[in-house]
């Protein structure tokens, strides 16, 4: 387990990580694919919206704004997942204090905390109670957002985030 005080997050234990990824893959039908043509890559719980990302919006400002939305919602803890890499538990309030990368001598591997903008891998940020979340697709340059409150925040900041809505699913 990572030293939360030193790095600002904990690397998920294998049991929790497996249960989170199982839910995303089985219930949300996450389907990773290395292609840029649109396809149904994830189906979060309703309500959800998918947005197209403007590539020019990538960077520190985008991460800062997206993190601030989670802080405004009062999120004290989120799961941060990076496809085929480590998964984390962190507080959005401490996002800018996080050590984003370091070498883990115990595991003899590099640790990279994901960005909110999917700039090379699938990055997911989910509330531990599954009330809301953000899923990012690196090749389609899309995000899928679920949960009314997070959708409202993204919609209000759409221009600043450089996103445009491409689909929506309402609560049934």
Burial per residue of 71-88, b for 16 or more beta-carbon CB atoms within 10 angstroms, e otherwise: eebebeebbbbbbebbbb
> Model's pTM, two decimal places?
0.90
Q: For residue 49, what are the β-bridge partners? A: 145, 168
Q: What's the pLDDT score for residue 36?
A: 67
Q: Kindly list the domain boundaries of the chain, sorted by start residue.
A: 4-32+44-169
Q: What's the pLDDT score for residue 2?
A: 54
Q: How far apart are CA 172 and CA 170, in angstroms?
A: 6
DSSP letters along 15-35, please? HHHHHHHHIIIIIS-------
Q: What's the pLDDT score for residue 50?
A: 95
Q: How far apart are CA 145 and CA 124, in angstroms?
A: 10
Q: What's the pLDDT score for residue 101?
A: 81
Average pLDDT of adjacent 10-residue blocks, the chain of 172 residues: 70 95 95 78 93 77 91 93 93 87 87 86 95 93 95 94 83 50
Q: How far apart are CA 57 and CA 20, in angstroms?
A: 29
Cα 32 to chain centroid distance, Å, stands at 15
Burial per residue of 129-150, b for 16 or more beta-carbon CB atoms within 10 angstroms, e otherwise: ebebbbbbbbbbbbbbbbbeeb
Q: For residue 170, what are the β-bridge partners? A: none
The CB density around residue 114, as the number of other CB atoms within 10 Å, is 24
Q: How far apart are CA 103 and CA 120, in angstroms?
A: 20
């Amino acid at each position: 387990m990572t030293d939360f005080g030193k790095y600002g997050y904990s690397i998920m234990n294998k049991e929790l990580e497996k249960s989170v990824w199982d839910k995303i893959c089985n219930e949300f039908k996450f389907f990773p694919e290395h292609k840029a043509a649109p396809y149904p890559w994830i189906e979060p719980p309703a309500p959800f919206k998918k947005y197209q990302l403007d590539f020019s919006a990538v960077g520190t400002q985008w991460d800062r704004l997206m993190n601030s939305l989670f802080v405004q919602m009062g999120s004290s803890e989120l799961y941060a997942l990076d496809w085929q890499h480590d998964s984390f538990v962190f507080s959005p309030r401490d996002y800018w204090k996080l050590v984003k990368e370091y070498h883990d001598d115990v595991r003899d591997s590099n640790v990279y905390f994901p960005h909110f903008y999917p700039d090379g891998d699938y990055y997911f940020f989910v509330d531990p109670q599954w009330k809301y979340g953000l899923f990012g697709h690196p090749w389609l340059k899309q995000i899928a957002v679920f949960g009314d409150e997070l959708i409202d925040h993204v919609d209000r900041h759409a221009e600043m985030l450089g996103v445009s809505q491409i689909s929506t699913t309402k609560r049934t």
